[in-house]
């Protein structure tokens, strides 16, 4: 299996370097990829020594389109097969071989005003940050979406998205599963674009779930998530401001966390990364109580605590971000995280510098 994975990775790299797109009639086959090089420093971490790491992420994907309706996609990525939140690998380990795995594999059909896909693909619901759902976690199952336009004035659109996903399988496909539905409305308000969304995410727990590391903590999670975002320009500079709220409608089963079911995020960004010379400044404040999210599916960026997977809840703090684009499809992103526990005395700081390049 390792030999097969290595052969696939080498083949993918050769195609990526060629940068070619093959087409025949109404069929197209397009390849793409990206590389991230990261420096990371954890410091001022309660009961832990400071830590420096050099890391990387490599992904390679393809999309085959047949006519206007049918699409098949797949992507390989570095990372551990037991850590759905991170495709990153750490430099070192005596120059040992690194893992590469299937990150996406899906069939998609586009119809008038909508689409559906089956397989493993990206999170299909509208979101503006990773505090509820990490960008690297690709759900497995079925998604469907429908959009109607001009429902609330010129330039407006209303999108309904739903999905049924398998978290774990014990001879019963949906014994440990996620059912989700969301409505997202985007409207024009003068020179601004305002988007508001609300959705329900029903995580059905199976106590025998051993594949997903402590994913649901032995309980169902029925989480309502709402968000709003405004996009406009200050002079020639793009501006985004937004907020999110999440509430778990289930009562936690863990003593001491009976009412820890809410979370919120506020954020603001100035600038954009689109063309060479562009820059971006952003700031986030989040307070995520213990059971406001499912920790193994939410972000894993904010701090070092955790065992096997990063603790993504029971935290509050800030993320400060600065980014610059020196060339096309290439950028530098610096982040500083300052976080502490809500129910506890741990605190931590983390600095990251990423160099990202796409092909």
The residues near 350 (Cβ < 8 Å, ≥ 6 apart) are 40, 41, 42, 43, 301, 302, 303, 304, 335, 336, 337, 339
Give the total number of structural domains in the chain.
1
- What are φ and ψ of residue 228, in 5° steps? -140, 140
Which pLDDT value is given to residue 181? 98
pLDDT of 26 higher than 90: no
pLDDT digits (tens, 9 = 90+) for 65-121: 999 999 999 999 999 888 888 999 999 988 888 889 999 999 999 999 999 999 999
Q: Residue 141: which H helix or E strand, with range?
A: strand 140-149
pLDDT of 209 higher than 90: no
Collapsed DSSP state (helix, strand, coil) of residue 349: strand
CATH number of 228's domain: 2.40.160.10
Q: Which domain range does residue 12 map to?
A: 2-358
Least confident range from 44-48, 85-89, 171-175, 355-359: namely: 171-175
The secondary structure of 193-257 as a DSSP string is EEEEEEEEEEEE--TT--SSTT-STTS-EEEEEEEEEEEEEETTEEEEEEEEEEEE-SPP-STT-
The proportion of the chain whose per-residue pLDDT surpasses 90, expressed as a percent, equals 68
Which pLDDT value is given to residue 343? 86
Closest residue by Cα to residue 311 from 332, 282, 341: 341
Least confident range from 33-47, 54-68, 211-225, 283-297: namely: 211-225
d(CA 176, CA 204): 5
Which pLDDT value is given to residue 24? 60
Which pLDDT value is given to residue 308? 56
d(CA 294, CA 288): 11
Checking DSSP bridges between strand 176-189 and strand 221-234, what pairing results, if any? unpaired
| C-alpha dist (Å) from residue 32 to 86, 204, 219, 250, 311 | 20, 35, 39, 41, 32
Closest residue by Cα to residue 201 from 175, 218, 223: 223
Closest residue by Cα to residue 13 from 33, 28, 29, 37: 33
Name the average pLDDT for the chain.
Answer: 88
**Arithmetic mean of pLDDT, 331-335:** 98
Least confident range from 6-20, 172-186, 262-276: namely: 6-20
User: Which of residues 151 and 324 earns the better pLDDT score?
Assistant: 324
pLDDT of 223 higher than 80: yes
User: Which of residues 64 and 303 earns the better pLDDT score?
Assistant: 64
**Residue 211 pLDDT class (50, 70, 90 cuts):** very low
The residues near 352 (Cβ < 8 Å, ≥ 6 apart) are 38, 39, 40, 41, 301, 333, 334, 335, 337
User: Which of residues 171 and 296 earns the better pLDDT score?
Assistant: 296
Which pLDDT value is given to residue 271? 97
Collapsed DSSP state (helix, strand, coil) of residue 11: helix
pLDDT of 231 higher than 90: yes
**Arithmetic mean of pLDDT, 158-180:** 82
pLDDT digits (tens, 9 = 90+) for 245-297: 999 998 887 777 778 999 999 999 999 999 999 999 999 999 999 999 998 89
| Cβ proximity of 268 and 252 under 8 Å | no
């Amino acid at each position: 299996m390792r030999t097969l994975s290595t052969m696939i990775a080498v083949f993918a790299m050769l195609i990526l370097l060629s940068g070619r797109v093959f087409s025949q009639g109404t069929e197209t086959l397009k390849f793409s990829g990206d590389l991230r090089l990261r420096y990371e420093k954890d410091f001022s971490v309660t009961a832990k020594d400071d830590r420096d790491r050099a890391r990387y992420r490599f992904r390679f994907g393809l999309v085959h389109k047949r006519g206007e309706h049918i699409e098949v996609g797949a992507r390989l990525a570095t990372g551990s097969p037991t850590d759905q939140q991170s495709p990153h690998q750490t430099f070192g380990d005596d120059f040992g071989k690194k893992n590469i795995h299937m990150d996406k594999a899906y069939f998609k059909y586009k119809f008038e005003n909508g689409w559906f896909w089956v397989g493993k693909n990206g999170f299909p619901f509208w979101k503006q940050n990773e505090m509820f759902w990490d960008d690297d976690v690709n759900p497995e199952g079925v998604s469907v979406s429908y959009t109607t336009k001009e429902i609330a004035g010129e330039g407006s659109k209303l999108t309904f998205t739903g999905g049924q996903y398998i978290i774990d399988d014990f001879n019963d496909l949906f014994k440990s599963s996620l059912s989700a539905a969301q409505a997202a409305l985007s409207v024009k308000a003068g020179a601004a674009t305002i988007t508001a969304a609300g959705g329900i995410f029903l995580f059905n727990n199976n106590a025998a779930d051993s594949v997903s590391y402590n994913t649901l903590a032995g309980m169902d999670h029925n989480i309502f998530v709402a968000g709003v975002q405004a996009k406009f320009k200050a002079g020639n500079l793009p501006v985004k401001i937004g907020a999110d709220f999440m509430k778990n409608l289930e009562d936690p089963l863990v003593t001491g966390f009976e009412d820890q079911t809410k979370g919120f995020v506020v954020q603001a960004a100035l600038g954009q990364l689109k063309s060479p010379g562009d820059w971006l400044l952003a700031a986030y404040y989040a307070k995520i109580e213990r059971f406001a999210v499912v920790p193994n599916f939410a972000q894993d960026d904010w701090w070092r605590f955790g065992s096997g997977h990063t603790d993504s809840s029971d935290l509050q703090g800030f993320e400060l971000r600065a980014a610059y684009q020196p060339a096309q499809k290439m950028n530098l992103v610096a982040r500083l995280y300052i976080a502490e526990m809500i129910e506890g005395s741990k605190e931590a700081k983390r600095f990251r510098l990423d160099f990202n390049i796409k092909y």
